[in-house]
Amino acid sequence: MATAQLATFKIPPVSNEPMLSYAPGSPERAGLQAALAEMQSQLPFEVPCIINGQEVRTNNIQKQPMPHDHARHLCTFHEGSPELVEKAIAGALQAKDAWETMPWNDRAAIFLKAADLASGKYRYKLMAATMLGQGKNTWQAEIDAAAELADFFRFGVSYVEELYAQQPPKNAPGCWNRTEYRPLEGFVLAVSPFNFTAIGGNLPGSPALVGNVVVWKPAPAATYSNYLVFKILAEAGVPPGVIQFIPGGAEIVQAAIQSPNFASLHFTGSTNVFKSLWKDISSNLDKYKVYPRIVGETGGKNWHVIHKSAEVRNAVLQSVRGAFEYQGQKCSALSRLYVSRSVWENGFKTQYLEEIAKIKVGPCLDWNNYMGPVIGRRAYDNITGFIKKAKEEGGEVLIGGSGDDSKGFFIQPTVILTKDPRSTTMVGEIFGPVVTAYVFEDSDYEKTLELIDKTSIYGLTGAIFASERQALLTATNRLRNAAGNIYYNEKCTGAVVGQQPFGGARGSGTNDKAGSISIFYRFVSARSIKENFVGLEDFHYPSNLV
């Protein structure tokens, strides 16, 4: 039966999911502990592909090891194949018509329900999967898997309501002009990274919210938590086929971008992978029915600049959190630190090293540990390789510099002091707990801003620490293109949906700003509708008359 919409519904007001404290003795700590114990008693889990709502076992089995204990794995998963991708695309296209014609309010209700499931019924389970599988501690899991995921879904609904309300401001007499926001013709390919469970949910979620069908390939190292997100969306009511879940690697992506129905890539991950996918997509352009929308948020080489007027204690503590939370595996993590000599010598250096020495590194299941493991073997070797290279280039390791990969992939928080502001670890993305510090003369502030601007290809996040307003202003102007998210006297990580729309430019991505209305424009293709109420009586215009 056809559906009717007999009222203009209003979305309930949304606000950020409150973050729980997990303090000793709190009910949330008990809840999370129980979920962790239960999950550990049941692992390894088995994750199938999900095509048209059906579990598909390909028997090409891969494992998701636990980074704190790499001999054990959280799940095995059935890796998809090019044939399965083809089947998934066909199924998604079949599901498309019913999904895109579903009244908006019903699509919205599904995502609001998914948010409540993520922040309620499944909160601790999602967190436990993120802690065991991706090596987050409790707080990092809370801000990601519980809060940010729910925020993406709830604020997404609110932004789409706002988008749909954008209508032409003028109507000529006897006419009504309307704009409708069509989903893209074809399917969206979502390719998500390991480091945020919430991003896993948002990459397929945002395009689906505006009526698209999506083929979603999660990162192998986040398979289990992402599978739970998929199950939550299904339980909330996303119909079979609307989001197809296909774990695996590059082969899945390559198969999907060969399809003539490929309409968009929604990617988050490293810059090199994104660039190579862009090139592959371009070379397939003649195959496609539409010009694909390419959306990608990628790497960073994020900076703090500490002006001589900075409040030292705050700059120190923010620089600890910015660099070492989640082992520096946030795209936004602090990686290059520029400190005015007077600040460095009058407390910053001593306090920074003292505070870092307090960081405990170990399995995140131990509540004391502030830092856990890095994600895997490749990351461990890459990060320790960067440290080695910095030493070879004359960098002085002020603290850390070592790792232990015997049981889990643990690397100590590391600070390297360099005299060469263009040394390797000042330039390339490390994606680990390594900060390189460069001390500049107080009188060279503006020169240093120039240096920050020109040193790396990235433009993701940065922070300015100063109590003099002019120092903030000068840096803001000089570094206009050096960061898509900039902070004053606050660390360069921790953007919140609805508060700091997130994304960078230059080599850091297309800057479509996840967590804002902007991202939704990328997944719709507007259609203008003009309706005429008054019939013509003559085809001539008055200017034709004599």
Ligand X SMILES: N[C@@H](CCC=O)C(=O)O
Ligand Y SMILES: NC(=O)c1ccc[n+]([C@@H]2O[C@H](COP(=O)([O-])OP(=O)(O)OC[C@H]3O[C@@H](n4cnc5c(N)ncnc54)[C@H](O)[C@@H]3O)[C@@H](O)[C@H]2O)c1
Task: Respond yes or no on whether the N-terminal peptide bond of residue 220 is cis (omega within 30° of 0).
Answer: no
CA angle 407, 127, 498 (to 5 degrees): 130
The one of ligand Y, ligand X, none whose footprint includes residue 431, by CB under 5 to 8 A per kind, is ligand Y
Q: Give which of 162, 230, 237, 235 is closest to 202, Cα–Cα.
A: 230
Closest-CB residue for ligand X?
Answer: 495
The one of ligand X, ligand Y, none whose footprint includes residue 395, by CB under 5 to 8 A per kind, is none
Q: Which is nearer to ligand Y, 501 or 504 (CB)?
A: 504
φ and ψ at residue 319, rounded to 5 degrees: -75, -25
Q: Which is nearer to ligand Y, 105 or 270 (CB)?
A: 270
- Token digits for 255? 């198969």
Q: How far is the CB of 154 from ligand X (least distance, A)?
A: 16
| Contact predicate 296/274, CB 8 Å | yes
| Contact predicate 427/456, CB 8 Å | yes
The footprint of ligand X on residues 189-208 (CB under 6 A) is 195-196
Q: How far is the CB of 495 from ligand Y (least distance, A)?
A: 9
Strand, coil or helix: 162 = helix
Q: How far is the CB of 414 from ligand Y (least distance, A)?
A: 18
| Contact predicate 240/52, CB 8 Å | yes
Give the contact letters, 434-473, x = binds to ligand X (CB under 6 A), - = no. Answer: ----------------------------------------
Amino acid present at 391: K
Task: Select which of 49, 75, 331, 492 is catalytic.
Answer: 331
Q: Which is nearer to ligand X, 129 or 323 (CB)?
A: 323
| Contact predicate 194/331, CB 8 Å | no
The one of ligand Y, ligand X, none whose footprint includes residue 493, by CB under 5 to 8 A per kind, is ligand X
Strand, coil or helix: 56 = strand
Task: Select which of 17, 79, 297, 429 is catalytic.
Answer: 297
CA distance 236 to 233: 5
CA distance 268 to 273: 10
Applying CB under 6 A, among 318, 332, 369, 448 the residue interacting with ligand X is 332
Segment interacting with ligand X (CB under 6 A) among 47-55, 81-89, 337-345, 494-502: 494-502
Residue 354 catalytic? no
Q: How far is the CB of 333 from ligand X (least distance, A)?
A: 7
Q: How far is the CB of 135 from ligand X (least distance, A)?
A: 14
Q: How far is the CB of 247 from ligand X (least distance, A)?
A: 20
Q: Which stretches of the chain bind ligand Y, using CB under 6 A?
A: 191-196, 199, 217, 219-220, 249-250, 253, 268-270, 273, 277, 297-300, 331, 429, 431, 460, 502, 504, 508-509
Strand, coil or helix: 489 = coil
Applying CB under 6 A, among 229, 331, 417, 435 the residue interacting with ligand X is 331
Q: How far is the CB of 179 from ligand Y (least distance, A)?
A: 29
**Sheet arrangement for strand 49-51:** 54-56, 49-51, 243-245, 213-217, 187-191, 262-268, 293-297
Q: Which is nearer to ligand X, 241 or 501 (CB)?
A: 501
- Token digits for 532? 């005429």
CA distance 152 to 496: 9
Q: Which is nearer to ligand X, 332 or 423 (CB)?
A: 332
Residue carrying the six token digits 């004599």: 546
CB-based contacts of 47: which residues, under 8 Å, 6+ apart?
A: 75, 76, 77, 78, 223, 224, 227, 247
493 near ligand X, rule: CB under 6 A? yes
Residue 331 catalytic? yes
The one of ligand Y, ligand X, none whose footprint includes residue 253, by CB under 5 to 8 A per kind, is ligand Y
The one of ligand Y, ligand X, none whose footprint includes residue 495, by CB under 5 to 8 A per kind, is ligand X
Per-residue CA distances from 275 to 293, 312, 349, 481 (Å): 14, 39, 38, 20
Q: Which is nearer to ligand Y, 211 or 299 (CB)?
A: 299
Q: Which is nearer to ligand X, 104 or 196 (CB)?
A: 196
486 near ligand X, rule: CB under 6 A? no
Segment interacting with ligand X (CB under 6 A) among 37-45, 256-264, 326-334, 413-421: 326-334
Residue carrying the six token digits 């309620």: 120
Q: How far is the CB of 301 from ligand Y (least distance, A)?
A: 9
CA distance 102 to 4: 10
CA distance 328 to 112: 31
Applying CB under 6 A, among 494, 501, 504, 509 the residue interacting with ligand X is 494
Instruction: Provide the 8-state DSSP code for 7.
Output: S
136 near ligand X, rule: CB under 6 A? no
Q: How many CA atoms lie within 13 A of 266 on its CB side?
A: 32
Q: How far is the CB of 493 from ligand X (least distance, A)?
A: 4
Size of the site for ligand X (CB under 6 A): 9
Per-residue CA distances from 172 to 242, 350, 542 (Å): 39, 69, 17
- Token digits for 179? 């704009």
Q: Which is nearer to ligand X, 72 or 321 (CB)?
A: 321
Applying CB under 6 A, among 439, 495, 519, 524 the residue interacting with ligand X is 495
φ and ψ at residue 63, rounded to 5 degrees: -120, 150
Taking the CB of residue 481, how many other CB atoms lie within 10 A of it? 11
Segment interacting with ligand X (CB under 6 A) among 80-88, 179-187, 327-335, 425-433: 327-335
Q: Which is nearer to ligand X, 22 or 502 (CB)?
A: 502
Q: How far is the CB of 484 from ligand Y (least distance, A)?
A: 8
CA angle 477, 478, 481 (to 5 degrees): 85
The footprint of ligand X on residues 501-520 (CB under 6 A) is 502
Positions that interact with ligand X (CB under 6 A) = 195-196, 330-332, 493-495, 502
Residues with active-site annotation? 297, 331
